[in-house]
Amino acid sequence: MAKDIYHNQVKSALESEGWTITADPYYLKMQAIEYEVDLGAEKIIAASKDNHKIAIEIKSFLVQSPTYEMHKAIGQFQTYAFALRKQEPERILYLAVPIRIYEDFFVLPFIKELISFYNIKLIVFDPDNKKIVKWIN
Amino acid sequence: MAKDIYHNQVKSALESEGWTITADPYYLKMQAIEYEVDLGAEKIIAASKDNHKIAIEIKSFLVQSPTYEMHKAIGQFQTYAFALRKQEPERILYLAVPIRIYEDFFVLPFIKELISFYNIKLIVFDPDNKKIVKWIN
């Protein structure tokens, strides 16, 4: 489905930078919440390289308006980051977004400030070339 | 439409507690972002009472899974709170949720901690009786 379209591209892009995919999907335990449904649609993956451990929420921004998708992405990111902090605090969560939406939307001053204010870390990827374009911490 | 279903009930509930609705919808300026589309569907309202000024994002939680709706609600709340901080920092943003979803979902320990961690203030309302049940700051 559309939501999953970039899943494999992001995995390949990470692997080509020397990361090892350690879980796909990576499960977050959130007591009493049925997360499988949502995670089934938009899986988090986990990767590691040297001493670094990361989790990645991949967003296609293909389905609805960027604003609408961004709301959902921020809400998911905050929820996952909160769960991750309890489960495996040394693992850092990233939001992976395609270069197209990054250049059209995430560079807007308001969005840039918003993302930075809430400490949302980005991986910008190029799905066509299966490459990571940049990491924004 | 479904999303707007509780709009008038929340307004009435606030008025019955002595609040004056000062803007409906209340517009948030977010440079270069087309927010009208989203705000058209889920409007923010503004109210005041004595020296207190609030803005309210009303969520029905009628459409999709509570988890999915919560992600969107958190993402919107954070985005609106960020915009409000610049525009009118003295106005406090609340998320208004119906009592049914509050009792079924927001009382779950994980959700309770999550909402508190991200400082999301709640107004719990009873749509049938057009009453505010509680304020959670």
Structure ipTM: 0.84
Residue B83 lies in a domain: yes
Examine residue A33 and state whether it is found in any structural domain, yes or no. yes
Q: State residue B1's pLDDT score.
A: 47
* CATH number of B79's domain: 3.40.1350.10
Q: What is the pTM assigned to this prediction?
A: 0.87
Name the percent of chain B lying above pLDDT 90: 58
Residue A82 lies in a domain: yes
* Nearest chain A Cα distance for residue B16, angstroms: 32
Contact at CB, A110 and B76, closer than 8 angstroms: no
The Cα–Cα gap between B123 and B96 comes to 4
| Interchain CB contact of B135 with A (< 8 Å) | no
Kindly identify which residue of chain B lies nearest to residue A41, measuring between CA atoms.
B68
Q: Which of B92, B120, B126, B91 is nearest to B106 (CA)?
A: B120
Structural domain contains residue A49:
yes
With respect to residue B94, please indicate whether it lies within any of the assigned structural domains: yes
Q: What per-residue confidence (pLDDT) applies to A65? A: 79
Q: Find the residue in B nearest to A118 (Cα).
A: B78
Res A4: pLDDT: 65
Q: Is residue B40 part of a domain?
A: yes
Beta-carbon separation of B65 and A34 below 8 A: yes
pLDDT band at A95 (very low <50, low <70, confident <90, very high): very high
CA atoms within 13 A on the CB side of A14: 26
Cα(A3)–Cα(A100) distance, rounded to whole angstroms?
A: 16
pLDDT 10s digits, A9-46: 999 999 999 999 999 888 887 755 555 444 434 678 99
Average pLDDT over residues A118-124: 96
Give the gap in angstroms from C-alpha B25 to the nearest C-alpha of chain A. Answer: 18
Residue B3 per-residue DSSP state: G
Per the CB < 8 Å rule, is B34 touching A73? no
Q: Which of 16-45 (B) contact A at CB < 8 A?
A: 30-35, 37-38
Residues of B whose CB is below 8 A from A107: none
Cβ of residue A116 closer than 8 Å to a chain B Cβ: no
Q: Per-residue pLDDT for B31 more than 60?
A: no
pLDDT of A75: 92
The residue ranking higher by pLDDT, A37 or B71, is: B71
Range of the domain at B29: 2-61+68-99+121-136
Residue A125 lies in a domain: no
Asked if residue A121 is part of any domain, the answer here is: no
The mean per-residue pLDDT over the stretch B23-41 comes to 63
Structurally, how many domains does chain A consist of? 1
